[in-house]
Amino acid sequence: MGVLQNILAVIVVLGLLITIHEFGHFWVARRCGVRVLRFSVGFGRPLLKRVDRHGTEFVLAAIPLGGYVRMLDEREGAVDPADQHLAFNRQSVWKRIAVVSAGPVANFLLALMAYWLMFMVGTTTVTPMVGSVSPDSPAARGGLEAGQEIVRVEGERTRSWDEVNLALIGAIGSDRLQFATRREGRELQQHSLAVTNYLAHQDPPQPLATLGFEPWRPDTPPVIGQVLDDGAAAAAGLRAGDRVISVNGAAIEAWSGFVARVQAAAGQSLQLRIRRDGRELAVDLTPRSRQLADGRSVGYIGAAADPVQWPQQYQRELRYGPLAAAGQAIHRTASMTSLTVGSIYKMVIGLISPSNLSGPITIARIAGESARSGLETFIGFLAYVSISLGVLNLLPIPILDGGHLLFYAVEAIRGRPLSERAQAVGFRIGAALVATLMIMAFYFDLMRL
């Protein structure tokens, strides 16, 4: 069921994003007087086809990994002299720039609308309260203490752990981080945390653990809430609802204590006592090994805790009226765009590992997880992927929209286009770069499995 939900979720996400992107090209092309021959969502064999009164063929194709808008163009075939004024290549450079840039712009507008809807409907978040702080860590040396609420990171207002993490991810490579915290009834406190090349080369990044602190969480009883089908917990016969009483004879009072025992016992047999339906049972469990970014190997069993209710004072609902929600949506879209551009730059200069690239498999998994987490999470994920698609398409790589815009910018400055030979060489280089990135993304997707 999970795999099917992932597939359906990614079809919805990619289908919507591709349609919106290509519709941007289509809509502006029509208004610039360009004849559109085909509007295709997907590649390969057409599954559905319809022709409108303008002669445009609308196609839904079998491979949902892209799409295209084919316009009348003398470079792609003979054009009747009577229709030459409708050809894309005959339009002014400014009209061609408008048509090409319309696709990415449509993706940014979709993200803006998604965030506006999310802020209008309202989101429930957890107050970013500091839990435990490791001694002699950057957090401890910077003055962070348990019970403080993080209200700003690097000057950005933080009302949830999502916003804290986003601000920290944006600071990759920094040598000093600025925090602002407060306690109820006390003045704002400023903190400066000294770090060295923060999060550089980590895969995956661990923003909080690297600084040496954890979020505050309510006490979680050692009750299993979810068991993965292919994990060590399932192999040992553990089920959702089981309460862990002891491990190797040592009493377990909280989920964190159980996790600590499991992580310290990679590949070692553990003797559990559990309570199931009022009866105590003995279970032999052997955690599997997983390597963390810092090279340490820890045990894991493929099980999650039974969710607990957060105290009301630590929950926060973010809901805005139409105008205020629009302002929040603009700010969030701008922040995510800046984060995406910055991440690409840091990947190019080597601060972020290329293994963070994600392809369709990872997108499908996260799309499914976000859909299961609720509508607001799914909308937020949709907006983020839409921004990523817009940014990627604007990269100055020939074959992408940004590459076309680069050629048109040169044409606008020179007063004449680049030679067809120069453009052809550029497109070959661009195609090789894009193919390499796609192969890398698929490879890292498979490694994550």
Question: Which amino acids are annotated catalytic?
Answer: 22
Report the alpha-carbon distance of residue 337 to residue 424 in Å, rounded: 30
What's the one-letter identity of residue 382? L
Residue 249: left (phi > 0), alpha (psi -120 to 50), or beta? left
**Dihedral sign (CA 183, 186, 188, 193):** negative
Radius of gyration for the alpha carbons in the chain, expressed in angstroms and rounded: 26
Q: Which residue in this structure is represented by tokens 């919106």?
A: 20
Q: Omega of the bond prior to 215 within 30 degrees of 0, cis?
A: no
Q: What share of the chain is helix, strand, coil (3-state, %, to 5)?
A: 45, 25, 30
CB-CB contact of 148 with 133 (8 Å): no
Task: Return the structure tokens found at 228.
Answer: 């993965």
**Dihedral sign (CA 402, 407, 410, 415):** negative
CB-CB contact of 39 with 59 (8 Å): yes
Task: Return the structure tokens found at 98.
Answer: 């408008």
Report the alpha-carbon distance of residue 354 to residue 114 in Å, rounded: 29
Closest of 63, 69, 104 to residue 389, by C-alpha: 104
Phi, psi for 130 (deg, rounded to 5): -70, 130
Closest of 219, 280, 213, 270 to residue 245, by C-alpha: 280
Q: What CA–CA distances, in Å, run from 361 to 17, 212, 388? A: 16, 32, 16
Instruction: Look at residue 339 and give its three-state secondary structure.
Output: helix
DSSP label of 424: H
Report the alpha-carbon distance of residue 409 to residue 422 in Å, rounded: 15
